[in-house]
Amino acid sequence: MLHQQHFILHKPYGYLSQFVNNQNRRKNKKLLGELYNFPENTMAIGRLDEDSEGLLLLTTDGKVSEQVRSKKVEKEYYVQVDGIITEQAVEALKGGVEIAIRGKKYTTLPCKASRLNPAPVFEARPKKVRDERHGPTSWISITIIEGKFRQVRKMTAAIGFPTLRLIRMRIGDIKIHKFEAGKVIEVSEFTSF
């Protein structure tokens, strides 16, 4: 029987969640293989876009990938937004908001959302988010069970608070803890979702 391998990664800002750059227009992009010597056939389970950071699970086992991407598994994000988010906006997120997916209207499933006060502290990212001269920012936690393309960013934009920084903190019971950006650990299995 083939031995499957599993990895937990803190994806740094500026990396694509892939191993091969199959988009000619995006030359010189940083890929996951630059962070660690992953075995052949390793795949990212769910993606984080280039500007997003945080927890990324990788595996050589397609069945595990399907399980994690199911609607049974929560994904929690800490999101820095432009402006001081209101309770009304947080409530709107919880109930589901209308976003566009491939040009079609889509209403997100109800989710968990709350303001993070005090704001979490993370190491500065290589490209500065922006400075205080451009107005205040605030942080929220959003926990979803689906994963549409750029969904969290579209959700915060839909309520009038565009995302400035997005960090995935948790997938199921697996948390990023105090992993520094770029750190990879191999695990024998992803313990419980």
Question: Vertex 39, ends 70 and 31: CA angle to 5°?
Answer: 75
Burial label for 72, CB within 10 Å (0-12, 13-18, 19+), is exposed
pLDDT in tens, 15-36: 998 887 665 555 678 999 999 9
- Model pLDDT, residue 67: 83
For CA atoms 180, 190, 120, 87, the dihedral sign is positive
Query: Top-level CATH class of 6-69+175-187?
Result: alpha beta
pLDDT in tens, 146-186: 988 899 999 999 999 999 999 999 999 999 877 889 999 99
For CA atoms 115, 121, 122, 124, the dihedral sign is positive
| Neighbouring residues of 34: CB distance < 8 A, sequence distance ≥ 6 | 15
Q: What is the pTM of this model?
A: 0.92
58 φ, ψ (degrees, to nearest 5):
-130, 145
CATH 3.30.70.1560 in the chain, residue ranges: 75-171
Annotated active-site residue 49? The verdict is yes
Which superfamily does CATH assign the domain made up of 75-171 to?
Alpha-L RNA-binding motif (3.30.70.1560)
C-alpha torsion angle, residues 98, 100, 106, 108 (rounded to 10): -60
From the candidates 49, 61, 82, 131, give the one annotated as an active-site residue: 49
CATH 3.30.70.580 in the chain, residue ranges: 6-69+175-187
- Model pLDDT, residue 66: 84
pLDDT band (50, 70, 90) for residue 132: low
Long-range contacts of 116-121 (CB under 8 A, 24+ apart): 116/78, 116/140, 116/141, 119/80, 120/78
22: left (phi over 0), alpha (psi -120 to 50) or beta: alpha
CA separation for the pair 173, 20 (Å, rounded): 29
